[in-house]
Structure 1
Amino acid sequence: MLKRIHHAAIICSDYEASKRFYTECLGLRILAENYRQERNSYKLDLALPDGTQVELFSFPGAPERPSYPEARGLRHLAFEVDDVDECKKKLESMGIAVEAIRLDDYTNKRFVFFADPDGLPLELYEQRVQNAGC
């Protein structure tokens, strides 16, 4: 029986830039960092506060991911936040381009898209709780 998503794996083109983005900009906590010499590759295990993990990989020569127009496969990775406005302002203050805030037609929840250093679409999805941040 499936219980929840344990992790999402991302392959990046610039390991140090992506590591900074996911840890410093998004605030994910480093669980483990390993260099695999036989693959000339890093594997960085990151965690969100609820224990959900993101695995960040570097593979030399990995092909670019087709994104636009929308390609088959994973469309985007969404993170739950308490306040989309606050998080959007914080990302923009770090020089990260963020799209306009939208409203989900079905749930009436607010969300916004931005991208990681490789253009992977990321979403902030609001679950508003009073006096809480991102």
Structure 2
Amino acid sequence: MSSKPAPRHILRSILAQGKRPWSAAEVARLRALVAEGRPKRDIAARLGRAPSSVKGKLYSLGLSIRRRGAALPAPARPSLPKKGRVTRPCLCCGRPFPSAGPHNRLCESCRKREPDPLDVPARVWRP
């Protein structure tokens, strides 16, 4: 993937809002200051940026600052535990079956059978 520069109208709108894109040199300096263990306010002052801008860039780079000075990768988000199969009654035949989730409401045999041509839907279109 090639990185193309942003179109001028986008850069103008960003700069008009007072926002400044991060250069590669600033990102490298940010990483070095984080490795030194500097606080966000100090980093922001040295880079001439707002502390919220530094915080956002640290988040996008996957870095966090520890109070004691070590720069660590941001902690991974805990994954939700997967729920096991739940026994539910089939909506067609009423027999209990192991369901994979709330979306699974028909047992295996009812899902595979051919529809009965005499079954009439509750709402029938009438001209």
Same fold (TM over 0.5): no
Structure 1 or 2: more helix by fraction: 2
Structure 1 or 2: more strand by fraction: 1
TM-score (norm 2): 0.21
| Bigger relative CO (Cα 8 Å, ≥ 6 apart) | 1
TM-score (norm 1): 0.20
